Chain A
Amino acid sequence: MTAPQPISVIIYALGGQGGGVLSDWLVEAAHLAGYRAQGTSIPGVAQRTGATNYYVEIYPEREPDADPVFCLFPSAGDVDLVVSLEPMETGRALNAGYVTLETTVVTASDRIYSIGEKVVPGDGTASASPVLTALEAAAKKLVSLDIGAMRERPNATFFGAIAATGVLPFEKDSCRQAISATGIAVESNLAGFEAGLVAASAPERSDDEDPATAPETAPPSLAELTAQFPQQLRAVVDQAISRLIDYQDEAYARLFVDRLRMVYAADESAGGAIQEFRLACAIVPRLAAWMAFEDVIRVAQLKTRPERLRRIREECGASAGEIVRVVDFLKPGRAEFAGLLPAWIGRQLSRPESGRPRGGIAFKITTSAPWGYALLKVLAGLRPLRRGMMRYADEQDAIDRWIEAVVGVASSDYELACRLVDVARWVRGYGDVRDRGLSRMEALCIDWREKLADDPAALSVEITRALDEALLSPDSNCAPVA
Chain B
Amino acid sequence: MAEVAKAVNRERSFARQVAKLQLGEGETFHGETILAVTKALLQSGVSYVGGYPGAPVSHLMDVLADARDTVLAPLGVQFEASASEAGAAALLGASIQYPLRGAVTWKSIVGTNVASDALSNLASAGVVGGALIVLGDDYGEGASIMQERTYAMAMKSSIPLLEPRTHMPKIVDMIERGFELSEASHLPAMLSLRIRAAHMTGEFVCRDNRSPAFGINSPLPGANYDYERIVLPPSTYVQEKAKFEERLPAARRFIVDNELNETFGPSGGRMGIILQGGAYGTMMRGLTLLGAADAQGVTKVPLLVLNVTYPLVPEQIQDFLAGKDSVLIVEEGAPAFIEQQIKAFAQEAGLVCRIHGKGLLPEAGEYTADTVRDGLRLFLEGLPRTDLTETAKSRAGALQQDVDSARAQLNEPIPPRPPGFCTGCPERPVFTALKLLERERGAMHISSDIGCSTFATLPPFNVGSTVLGYGLSLASGGAVGPSLGTPTVAVMGDGGFWHNGLTTGAINAHWNGHDGVLVVLENGYASATGQHHLPSTGSTPWGRQIQVSTERTLKGLGIEWVRRINSYDLGGSLKTLREAFDKRGAGLRVVISDQECMLARQRRERPAKAADKAAGRPVTTQKFGIDEEVCVSDHSCMRVNGCPSLTLKHTEDPLKDGPIAHIDKTCVGCGLCGEIVETVGLCPSFHRTERFANPNLLRRLGDWLNRGLMRALGAS
Q: Are A67 and B297 in contact (CB under 8 A)?
A: yes
- A208 interface residue, CB < 8 Å from B? yes
A residues 346-384 near B (Cβ < 8 Å) are: 358-360, 362, 364, 367-370, 373-374, 377
A1-B294, A27-B201 known; A71 vs B281 contact (CB < 8 Å)? yes
Interface residues in B360-377 (C-beta closer than 8 Å to A): 368-370, 373
Stretch in contact with the other chain, from A39-47, A187-195, A448-456:
A39-47
Q: Are B403 and A73 in touch, CB under 8 angstroms?
A: no
Residue of A299, A328, A481 with most partner-chain B CB within 10 A: A481
Q: Contacting B632 at CB < 8 Å: which of A294, A323, A359? A: A294
Known A1-B294, A78-B289, A322-B691; contact A69-B639, beta-carbon cutoff 8 A: no
Whether B410 sits at the interface, judged by CB under 8 Å, is yes
Q: Which of B136-144, B491-499, B580-588 lies at the interface?
A: B136-144
Which chain B residue shows the least CB distance to A91?
B414
Partner of A118, one of B202, B280, B647, B652: B647
State the CA gap A74–B368 with chains docked (Å): 8
Instruction: Find chain A residues with CB under 8 A from B345 CB.
Output: none
**Are the CB atoms of A322 and B682 closer together than 8 Å?**
no
Distance in angstroms from B283 CB to nearest chain A CB is 9
> How far does the alpha carbon of A66 sit from the alpha carbon of B399 in the complex, in Å?
27
Complex contact B687–A99 (CB within 8 A):
no
Which of these binds chain A: B126-134, B240-248, B347-355, B418-426?
Answer: B418-426
Whole-angstrom distance from the CB of B447 to the nearest CB of chain A?
19
Check B693 against A322 for contact (C-beta < 8 Å): yes
Q: B293 contacts the other chain (Cβ, under 8 Å)?
A: yes
Partner of A373, one of B55, B144, B412, B713: B713
| Residues A306 and B686 in contact, CB atoms below 8 Å apart | no
Query: Given contacts A126-B412, A126-B414, A130-B412, are A65 and B296 in contact (CB under 8 A)?
Result: yes
A128, chain B: closest CB distance, angstroms = 10
Which of B69-77, B227-235, B316-324, B623-631 lies at the binding interface? B623-631
Tell me if A326 and B687 are in contact (CB < 8 A): yes
* B468 lies within 8 A of chain A by Cβ: no
Contact with A along B604-636 (1 / 0, CB 8 A): 000000000000000000010101011011111
A393 close to B (CB within 8 Å): no
Q: Are B295 and A4 in contact (CB under 8 A)?
A: yes
Across the interface, do B412 and A91 meet the contact criterion of CB distance under 8 Å? Answer: yes
What's the Cα separation between A120 and B661 when bound, in Å? 11
Contact assessment for A114 and B682 in the assembled complex, using a CB-CB cutoff below 8 Å: no
For the complex, is B444 an interface residue (Cβ under 8 Å from A)?
no
Q: How far is the CA of A162 from the CA of B416 in the complex (A)?
A: 27
C-alpha spacing A299/B440, complex, angstroms: 29
Cβ–Cβ < 8 Å partners of A317 in chain B: 665, 691
Say yes or no: A316-B625 contact (C-beta < 8 A), given A46-B142, A329-B678, A377-B713: yes
With both chains docked as a complex, state the minimum distance between the C-beta of A366 and any C-beta of chain B, in angstroms.
9
Residues of A within 8 A of B528 (CB): 45, 48
CB distance from A324 to the nearest CB of B (A): 5
Judging by beta carbons under 8 Å apart, are B201 and A39 in contact? yes
**A275 interface contact, C-beta 8 A:** no
* A69 to B202 Cα, complex, angstroms: 12
Per CB-CB distance, the 5 closest pairs between chain A and chain B, nearest first, are: A44-B142, A123-B658, A50-B419, A480-B440, A42-B142
Can you give 19 A-B contacts (C-beta < 8 A)?
A16-B666, A42-B199, A71-B285, A78-B399, A115-B459, A115-B460, A125-B648, A215-B652, A239-B655, A316-B691, A318-B689, A329-B677, A331-B681, A331-B682, A368-B710, A373-B715, A428-B633, A429-B636, A481-B574
B-side residues, CB < 8 A to A, are 30, 55-56, 138, 141-144, 166-167, 194-197, 199-202, 280-282, 284-286, 288-289, 293-298, 300, 368-370, 373, 399-400, 402-403, 405-407, 409-423, 436, 439-440, 452, 455, 458-460, 528, 574, 623, 625, 627, 629-630, 632-636, 638-639, 642, 644, 646-659, 665-666, 673-674, 677-684, 686-695, 699-700, 703, 706, 709-710, 713-716
List chain A positions with a Cβ less than 8 A from chain B.
Answer: 1-6, 14-16, 27, 31, 37-51, 55, 59, 64-78, 88-89, 91-92, 94-95, 97, 99-102, 112-126, 130-131, 133-135, 137-139, 208-210, 212-213, 215, 235-236, 239-240, 243, 285, 288-289, 292, 294, 299, 302-306, 308-310, 312, 315-319, 321-331, 333, 358-360, 362, 364, 367-370, 373-374, 377, 425, 428-433, 474-475, 478-482
| Sample of 11 more A-B contacts, CB < 8 Å, known A75-B369, A115-B642 | A40-B199, A42-B196, A71-B284, A71-B285, A119-B639, A299-B684, A316-B689, A329-B678, A329-B687, A430-B684, A474-B636
